[in-house]
């Protein structure tokens, strides 16, 4: 539709009709052929709102969407199509690894490819918008939603966020792309104690320096929508925070797209204690610049009255409505309200061979080898292998947020191993349940199949496991968190492998066999007491539809692992938050001259995490040498080279992630001990050496200085290059 036509349409709407464009309801209202049957009463909205609401949440599937859209339009005066939005976070039907695993690939181009495929599957299934990427920086593994983030580093997160937005949106081709909604703006990942929906409080400096850049990059990459977060930002919930939405997002960053609340977040302003009723909550949100109300009756039932009472300006509604209409127009809905939805194309595209192949590749690239005492890779011949554990033959490895995925598409680890080795050399036993008790999962848990069985016999499970282990040369133990122990509202304080599974591990260990532990989890777990009990550890995360195949590829050496952690694994949960780019403090434990007691440290635990940011092993080893910087003194406007040689010292080909960090020794405000500024993945044949060059200029040295200006400051810097944040070569330079 041309702009003039759109404006004409806009002017023809009544105030109510404009308001209804700002209302998002869940699919329950529209699911049957007859429009508008459903829980209206509970939400407190009228039939008129249902018939005119602007968008729907989490309904997907071409047949269903075509039907709903058709019915809706038949009853609609202006024939303004519904917008269909959904949580398609790391896959629609082909499920890729969870974002925290995707981060471990250190491969934004590959992640972009995944999002192109995700968008295509979603578009032919009728979705218009995905509530992704989640750009929240995370430092606290107690928080269940770390699984949805790419990790603890701002720079890496910006690269991934941009790749995802561009992958989803492409060039807006109807059957290949969807609009992207970055979330949760802002700083949702910093909830205190990692407790879900809890308080966030930080300085504006930290907010701008560490937390905001990934959302901003999404906006700069053309992201069409932004979702508000549940938390407060400087004392005011994001959903009613005018400074955040208007001053920062709209005015500073120039965002012209649509702002949507998180689920029922307007009404939650009341529980937060900044509004005493729906009406006040509505006023705060619309004045903050929030366009769409997800899942409450606040906007539909209060905006009109607020205007009539002269409490808010009508223009606010106009602006928001126009933004929604523009998005619909950009998606081409006025020309074709069904857009890419096609039952025929779904058959061609969903879980097609190409997507499955990509999922296997990405999944293998996301696996992180944490430990290897000469046990991996496992030889395919002449070894008897026992696969034991509740994740050995379990399809729930797609993880919690793959809400539209089908577990029936998953190849389990057991089936994938069976494809690789002689059946005579392979046996499997479950060993134990995932959890000793599932009741905490509650009603929600009953909706999701997390792999639990109803008829359990613990003694028999254990006996079987011991007997298959005794027959074997190597035991692969597939353990981990229940998939519902992470994800939204999956906060935990005791972030270990569940006790029932650790007991199994101890029993197997008594047999003296070689053990490879494969860990499925949505977060970094505390593995300190596990390390010495096993010979090898692969961190599998929730690896998606093709996780089984990818793991088998790595276990048997068809793929040399190359994943690198993007979130530190704590030594103890008491260290949390523990992250690599911390500040030095006035009494740094490594260099302070104070007596030992009076340094910044714990009495009962090291300061360092168990596995640091950037860490990950390979089946070969890499040697770093000859770090040189092209200038001792770097001037404004100049670019300097930092070069290093890397040699593959082992017997097989491998891909190393070469990481560049910088430290600014003295600033007008304190600066981190290390900050990632670049990385390169290099593939090396056995014995091969390559030189890797990074370019450093003023841009890499900038930060939010004392006056919150983003700029550089002169002084001494250190360049570090290495294979992880804790093992680098280093060299100084001066910036003048």
The three-state (H, E, C) secondary structure of 126-155, written as one string: CCCEECCCECCCCCCCCCHHHHHCCCCCHH
Tell me whether residue 128 or residue 677 sits nearer to ligand BGC (CB atom).
128
Tell me whether residue 103 or residue 490 sits nearer to ligand BGC (CB atom).
490
263 forms part of the interface with ligand BGC (CB under 6 A): yes
73 in Cβ contact with 79 (< 8 Å): yes
Contacts to ligand BGC from residues 685-704, by CB under 6 A:
none
**Strand-pair category, 536-539 with 703-704:** unpaired
The residue count for binding ligand BGC (CB under 6 A) is: 9
CA torsion 156-157-158-160 (nearest 10°) is 90
Beta bridge partners of 474: 385, 514
Tell me whether residue 90 or residue 263 sits nearer to ligand BGC (CB atom).
263
293 forms part of the interface with ligand BGC (CB under 6 A): no
Distance between CA atoms of residues 655 and 527, nearest Å: 26
Q: Nearest approach, Cβ of 58 to ligand BGC (angstroms)? A: 6
Helix 278-288 with 314-330: angle, nearest 10 deg:
60
131 forms part of the interface with ligand BGC (CB under 6 A): yes
Residue span 39-58 as binding mask against ligand BGC, x where in contact by CB under 6 A, dash where not: ------------------xx
Tokens, residue 226: 């932004």
Tell me whether residue 135 or residue 555 sits nearer to ligand BGC (CB atom).
135
**Which residues fall within 8 angstroms of residue 333, CB to CB, at 6 or more apart?**
81, 83, 128, 339
Q: Nearest approach, Cβ of 307 to ligand BGC (angstroms)? A: 28
Q: Nearest approach, Cβ of 358 to ligand BGC (angstroms)? A: 24
How many CB atoms lie under 10 A from the CB of residue 571?
Answer: 19
Q: Nearest approach, Cβ of 233 to ligand BGC (angstroms)? A: 16
262 forms part of the interface with ligand BGC (CB under 6 A): yes
Which one-letter DSSP state was computed for residue 437? -
Q: Nearest approach, Cβ of 273 to ligand BGC (angstroms)? A: 20
**Which residues fall within 8 angstroms of residue 27, CB to CB, at 6 or more apart?**
56, 57, 58, 59, 68
Tell me whether residue 23 or residue 508 sits nearer to ligand BGC (CB atom).
23
Distance between CA atoms of residues 56 and 352, nearest Å: 27
120 in Cβ contact with 467 (< 8 Å): no
Distance between CA atoms of residues 101 and 87, nearest Å: 18
* One-character DSSP codes across 608-653: S-SB-TT--B-SS-EEEEEEEES-SEE-TT--EEEEEEEEE-SSS-
Tokens, residue 722: 């290495």
Q: Is 15 exposed, middle or buried (0-12, 13-18, 19+ CB in 10 A)?
A: middle
Q: Nearest approach, Cβ of 294 to ligand BGC (angstroms)? A: 7
183 forms part of the interface with ligand BGC (CB under 6 A): yes
**Position among 87, 196, 481, 553 found at the interface with ligand BGC (CB under 6 A):** 87
Contacts to ligand BGC from residues 394-453, by CB under 6 A:
none
551 in Cβ contact with 108 (< 8 Å): no
Tell me whether residue 58 or residue 496 sits nearer to ligand BGC (CB atom).
58
How many CB atoms lie under 10 A from the CB of residue 515?
Answer: 23
Tell me whether residue 58 or residue 612 sits nearer to ligand BGC (CB atom).
58
85 in Cβ contact with 130 (< 8 Å): yes
Peptide bond into 728 cis (omega under 30): no
Residue span 579-598 as binding mask against ligand BGC, x where in contact by CB under 6 A, dash where not: -------------------x
**Position among 152, 196, 488, 546 found at the interface with ligand BGC (CB under 6 A):** 488
Cα–Cα distances in angstroms (integers) from residue 260 to residues 22, 55, 181, 271, in the given order: 9, 11, 9, 19
Q: Which of these is catalytic: 262, 291, 293, 553?
A: 262
Q: Nearest approach, Cβ of 149 to ligand BGC (angstroms)? A: 11
136 forms part of the interface with ligand BGC (CB under 6 A): no
**Strand-pair category, 474-480 with 514-520:** parallel
Tell me whether residue 120 or residue 136 sits nearer to ligand BGC (CB atom).
136
Tell me whether residue 235 or residue 586 sits nearer to ligand BGC (CB atom).
586
Tell me whether residue 145 or residue 492 sits nearer to ligand BGC (CB atom).
145
Q: Nearest approach, Cβ of 532 to ligand BGC (angstroms)? A: 37
Contacts to ligand BGC from residues 598-617, by CB under 6 A:
598
Q: Nearest approach, Cβ of 263 to ligand BGC (angstroms)? A: 4
224 forms part of the interface with ligand BGC (CB under 6 A): no
Q: Nearest approach, Cβ of 401 to ligand BGC (angstroms)? A: 8
> Is 309 considered catalytic here?
no
Question: Could you list the active site residues?
Answer: 262
State the residues that interact with ligand BGC by CB under 6 A.
Answer: 57-58, 87, 131, 183, 262-263, 488, 598
């Amino acid at each position: 539709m041309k702009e003039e036509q759109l404006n004409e349409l806009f002017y023809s709407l009544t105030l109510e009709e404009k308001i209804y464009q700002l209302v998002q309801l869940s699919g329950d209202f529209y699911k049957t052929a007859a429009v508008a049957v459903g829980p209206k009463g509970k939400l407190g909205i009228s039939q008129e709102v249902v018939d005119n609401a602007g968008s729907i949440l989490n309904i997907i599937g071409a047949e269903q969407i075509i039907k709903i859209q058709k019915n809706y339009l038949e009853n609609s005066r202006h024939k303004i199509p519904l917008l269909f939005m959904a949580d398609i976070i790391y896959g629609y039907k082909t499920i890729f690894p969870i974002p925290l695993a995707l981060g471990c690939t250190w491969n934004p181009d590959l992640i972009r490819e995944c999002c192109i495929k995700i968008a295509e599957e979603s578009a032919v299934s009728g979705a218009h918008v995905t509530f992704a990427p989640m750009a929240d920086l995370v430092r606290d593994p107690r928080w269940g939603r770390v699984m949805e983030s790419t990790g603890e580093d701002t720079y890496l997160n910006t690269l991934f966020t941009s790749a995802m937005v561009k992958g989803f949106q492409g060039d807006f081709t109807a059957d290949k792309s969807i609009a992207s909604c970055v979330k949760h703006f802002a700083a949702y990942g910093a909830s205190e104690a990692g407790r879900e929906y809890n308080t966030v409080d930080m300085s504006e400096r930290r907010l701008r320096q560490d937390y905001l850049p990934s959302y901003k990059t999404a906006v700069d990459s053309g992201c069409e929508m932004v979702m508000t977060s549940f938390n407060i930002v400087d004392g005011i919930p994001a959903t009613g925070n005018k400074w955040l939405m208007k001053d920062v997002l709209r005015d500073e960053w120039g965002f012209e797209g649509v702002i949507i609340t998180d689920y029922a977040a307007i009404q939650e302003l009341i529980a937060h204690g900044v509004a005493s009723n729906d009406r006040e909550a509505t006023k705060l949100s619309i004045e903050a610049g929030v366009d769409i109300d997800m899942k409450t009756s606040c906007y539909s039932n209060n905006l009109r009255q607020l205007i009539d009472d002269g409490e808010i300006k009508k223009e606010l509604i106009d602006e928001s409505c126009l933004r929604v209409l523009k998005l619909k127009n950009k998606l081409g809905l006025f020309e074709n309200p069904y857009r890419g939805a096609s039952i025929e194309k779904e058959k061609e595209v969903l879980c097609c061979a190409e997507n499955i192949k990509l999922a296997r590749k990405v999944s293998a690239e996301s696996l992180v080898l944490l430990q290897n005492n000469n046990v991996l890779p496992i030889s395919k011949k002449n070894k008897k292998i026992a696969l034991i554990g509740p994740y050995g033959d379990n399809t729930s490895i797609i993880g919690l947020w793959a809400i539209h995925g089908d577990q029936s598409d998953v190849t389990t680890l057991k089936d994938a191993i069976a494809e690789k080795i002689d059946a005579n050399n392979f046996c499997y036993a479950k060993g134990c349940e995932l959890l000793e008790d599932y009741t905490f999962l509650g009603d929600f848990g009953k909706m999701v199949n997390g792999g639990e069985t109803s008829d359990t016999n613990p003694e028999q499970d254990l006996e079987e496991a011991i007997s298959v282990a005794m027959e074997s040369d190597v035991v692969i133990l597939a353990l981990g968190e229940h998939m519902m122990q992470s994800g939204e509202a999956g906060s935990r304080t005791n972030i270990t492998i569940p006790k029932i599974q650790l007991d199994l591990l101890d029993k197997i260990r008594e047999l003296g066999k070689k053990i490879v532990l494969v860990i499925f989890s949505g977060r970094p777990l505390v593995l300190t007491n596990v390390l010495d009990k096993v010979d090898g550890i692969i961190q599998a995360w929730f690896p998606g539809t093709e996780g089984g195949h990818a793991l088998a590829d790595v276990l048997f050496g068809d793929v040399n692992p190359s994943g690198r952690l993007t979130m530190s694994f704590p030594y103890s949960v008491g260290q949390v938050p523990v992250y690599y780019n911390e500040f030095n403090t006035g009494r740094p434990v490594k260099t302070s001259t104070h007596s030992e007691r009076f340094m910044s440290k714990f009495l009962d635990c090291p300061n360092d995490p168990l596995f640091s940011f950037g860490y990950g092993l390979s089946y070969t080893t890499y040697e770093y040498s000859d770090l040189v910087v092209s200038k001792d003194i770097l001037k404004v406007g100049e670019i300097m080279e930092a070069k290093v040689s890397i040699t593959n010292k082992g017997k097989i080909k491998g891909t190393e992630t070469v990481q560049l960090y910088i430290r600014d020794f003295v600033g007008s405000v304190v600066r981190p001990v290390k900050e990632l500024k670049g990385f390169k993945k290099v593939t090396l044949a056995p014995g091969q050496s390559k030189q890797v060059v990074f370019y450093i200029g003023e841009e890499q040295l900038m930060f939010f200085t004392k006056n919150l200006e983003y700029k550089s400051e002169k002084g001494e810097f250190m360049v570090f290059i290495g294979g992880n944040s804790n093992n680098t070569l280093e060299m100084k330079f001066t910036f003048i």
